[in-house]
Amino acid sequence: MARNVYKVHKSQWCKWSESARMAFNYVYSTMSNQELFKHPKAPTIPAKQWRTTRWNAAWIAAEAIN
């Protein structure tokens, strides 16, 4: 059972299937290193902004599966 380790609001977490929850956790954790996702010549995005990007991408992944 996927744990809500990134503190998605409980009402939303409960709406997602187990697969969607796992996808959210996987995408959010995988995107912790932005160097894997940005163009090599692009500047590094501030951490706070990158967290938002990670959150949005993980959310989209979960919604796509759900």
Give the model confidence (pLDDT) of 24-54 as tens digits.
999 999 999 999 999 999 999 999 999 999 9
Identify whether 17 is part of a domain.
Answer: yes
- Whether the full predicted model's pTM is greater than 0.75, yes or no, is yes
Band of pLDDT at residue 66, cut at 50, 70 and 90: confident
Number of domains within the chain: 1
Residue-number span of the structural domain to which 23 is assigned: 12-65
Say how far apart CA 46 and CA 27 lie, in whole Å. 19
Per-residue pLDDT, 34: 95
Place of tokens 């991408």: 57
- Burial code of 10-33, b = ≥16 C-beta within 10 A, e = fewer? eeebeebeeebbbbbbebbeebee
**What's the mean pLDDT when you consider all of the chain?**
97
Q: How many CB atoms lie within 10 A of CB 58?
A: 21
Identify whether 7 is part of a domain.
Answer: no
pLDDT over 90 (residue 21): yes
Identify whether 44 is part of a domain.
Answer: yes
Identify whether 52 is part of a domain.
Answer: yes
